[in-house]
């Protein structure tokens, strides 16, 4: 790659800003999307990643529970949900069945359960409060990261509670943090076309803001690589960056690559690997107030997730059993996403990085880096 001063002028200016640890503007970000080479954005993103985390790459040991795939909404990209009218084609787990799933991990060193599913009209706030209480009663130390803003919006409106009231009840029942799903793309023109009937951008952001103010950390996602423009991606990340400036409540940003199998957007081509890596790198550069950028390997595939470690990513999602179906049903390479801790550690070491097992809040659980003699 060229030394920065030999780059075209706008790119040289941006590269100097990033190297000096300065924030880039929306216009800079658009320039990166339009003009920067993969090599340049990768180098800059890697610089930031190493400034923040050195050679460390994080993972955690978690498992998923998907209470149901019955959903009142009809997102065009979703291969997973079944409408309530066709609920006999889907699954609905009882509290006992979900507790049974938790008990399968008794004696195993998992630190987190990630609970997320469709929006089922009969699974309400009382049902989920009971579920969280049952899990905490069985295993108090297990961190519960549960339900997207889409699920909360529906649950709380149905219970006629404010977001703060609803979250307070679930926090008292055992909720520890909130995953990043449901954000998709905030821009209303795109949202209208891909997920018109669920919570809008303002609603999603308000739920995360309230959670942060109550001391509940959360994650943020962006579903990319479908019909959105570069400007829509920047608008999405700007809203996240602004909220993070105010609350500092986001743990990590997770770009989610759109997969096109068996959904109503199957005619839309998927992004290429180069586009994926450019997006990871540009997100790392733009979101200067996010400590972590995570690549979700069950969706990206393990080899590509490994590659993303050279493009600003410092976290690979945890070791899980084949308990998540969202991506396998939408055509991910990972049809049975399961990686043992050893495999994940190996994957990270192969990329010449130091594997660090973390808990949900990025406290170090185990340091798997090889000691230098």
Minimal distance, residue 25 CB to ligand SF4, in Å: 32
64 touches ligand SF4 by CB under 6 A? no
Among 253, 258, 290, 297, binds ligand V47 (CB under 6 A): 258
Decide whether 259 or 278 has the Cβ nearer to ligand V47: 259
> Which x/- pattern, by CB under 6 A, does the window 111-140 give for ligand SF4?
-------xx---------------------
HSE-CB at 265 with a 13 A cutoff on CA atoms is 23
Spatial separation of the C-alpha atoms in residues 314 and 354, rounded to whole Å? 10
Among 71, 146, 149, 256, binds ligand SF4 (CB under 6 A): 71
Decide whether 75 or 307 has the Cβ nearer to ligand SF4: 75
Contact 163, 155 (CB under 8 A): no
318 touches ligand V47 by CB under 6 A? no
Minimal distance, residue 27 CB to ligand SF4, in Å: 32
Spatial separation of the C-alpha atoms in residues 340 and 320, rounded to whole Å? 8
Closest to 165 measured CA to CA, from 131, 214, 217, 200: 214
Stretch that binds ligand V47, among 85-93, 206-214, 231-239, 254-262 (CB under 6 A): 254-262
Stretch that binds ligand SF4, among 76-84, 289-297, 316-324, 339-347 (CB under 6 A): 76-84
Q: Which does 256 bind (CB under 5 to 8 A by kind): ligand V47, ligand SF4, none?
A: ligand V47
- Give the sign of the dihedral formed by CA 205, CA 34, CA 280, CA 19: negative
Closest to 191 measured CA to CA, from 129, 235, 251, 241: 235
Number of Cβ within a 10 Å radius of residue 75: 22
Stretch that binds ligand V47, among 47-55, 124-132, 217-225, 301-309 (CB under 6 A): 217-225
Spatial separation of the C-alpha atoms in residues 80 and 290, rounded to whole Å? 30
151 touches ligand V47 by CB under 6 A? no
Stretch that binds ligand SF4, among 12-20, 73-81, 242-250, 348-356 (CB under 6 A): 73-81
- Give the sign of the dihedral formed by CA 41, CA 44, CA 46, CA 52: negative
* Ranges of H-type helices in 160-293: 163-173, 188-194, 201-213, 230-247, 273-286
> Which x/- pattern, by CB under 6 A, does the window 11-50 give for ligand V47?
----------------------------------------
Minimal distance, residue 298 CB to ligand V47, in Å: 8
Distance of CA 100 to the CA centre of its chain: 26
Number of Cβ within a 10 Å radius of residue 219: 23
Among 184, 228, 232, 315, binds ligand V47 (CB under 6 A): 184
Nearest residue to ligand V47 by CB is: 181
223 touches ligand SF4 by CB under 6 A? no
Strand partners, 114: 64, 145
Within residues 163-222, the interface with ligand SF4 by CB under 6 A covers 195, 198
Spatial separation of the C-alpha atoms in residues 73 and 285, rounded to whole Å? 34
Minimal distance, residue 221 CB to ligand SF4, in Å: 11
Phi-psi region of 342 (alpha: psi -120 to 50; beta: other; left: phi over 0): alpha
205 touches ligand V47 by CB under 6 A? no
Collapsed DSSP state (helix, strand, coil) of residue 326: coil
Q: Which does 71 bind (CB under 5 to 8 A by kind): ligand SF4, ligand V47, none?
A: ligand SF4
User: Which stretches of the chain bind ligand V47, using CB under 6 A?
Assistant: 77-79, 179-182, 184, 219, 221, 223, 254, 256, 258-259, 263, 296, 317, 326, 330
């Amino acid at each position: 790659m060229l030394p920065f001063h030999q780059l075209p002028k706008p790119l040289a200016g941006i590269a100097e800003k990033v190297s000096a640890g300065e924030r880039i503007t929306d216009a800079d970000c658009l320039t990166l999307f339009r003009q920067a080479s993969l090599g340049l954005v990768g180098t800059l993103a890697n610089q930031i990643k190493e400034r923040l985390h050195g050679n460390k790459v994080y993972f955690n040991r978690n498992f998923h529970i998907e209470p149901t795939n019955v959903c009142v909404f009809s997102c065009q990209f979703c291969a997973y949900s079944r409408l309530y009218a066709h609920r006999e084609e889907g699954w609905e787990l009882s509290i006992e069945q979900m507790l049974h799933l938790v008990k399968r991990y008794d004696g195993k060193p998992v630190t987190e359960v990630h609970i997320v599913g469709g929006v089922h009209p009969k699974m309400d706030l009382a049902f989920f409060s009971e579920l969280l209480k049952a899990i905490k009663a069985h295993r108090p130390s297990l961190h519960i990261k549960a339900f997207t803003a889409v699920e909360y919006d529906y649950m709380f409106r149905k219970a006629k509670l404010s977001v703060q009231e609803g979250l307070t009840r679930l926090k008292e029942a055992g909720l520890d943090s909130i995953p990043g799903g449901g954000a998709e793309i905030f821009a209303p023109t795109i949202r209208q076309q891909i997920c018109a009937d669920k919570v809008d951008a303002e609603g999603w952001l308000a739920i995360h803001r309230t959670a942060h103010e109550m001391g509940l950390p959360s994650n943020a996602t962006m579903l990319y690589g479908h019909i959105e423009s570069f400007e829509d991606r920047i608008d999405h990340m700007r809203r996240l960056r602004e909220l993070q400036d105010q609350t500092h409540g986001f743990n990590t940003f997770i770009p989610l690559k759109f997969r096109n199998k068996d959904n109503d957007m199957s005619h839309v081509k998927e992004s290429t690997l180069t586009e994926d890596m450019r997006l990871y790198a540009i997100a790392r550069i733009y979101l200067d107030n996010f400590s972590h950028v995570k690549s979700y390997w069950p969706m990206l595939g393990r080899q590509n997730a490994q590659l993303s470690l050279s493009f600003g990513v410092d976290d690979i999602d945890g070791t899980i059993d084949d308990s998540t179906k969202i991506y396998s049903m939408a055509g991910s390479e990972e049809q049975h996403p399961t990686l043992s801790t050893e495999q994940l550690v190996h994957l990270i070491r192969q990329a010449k990085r130091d594997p660090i097992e973390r808990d949900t809040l990025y406290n170090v659980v185990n340091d798997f880096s090889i000691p230098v003699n």
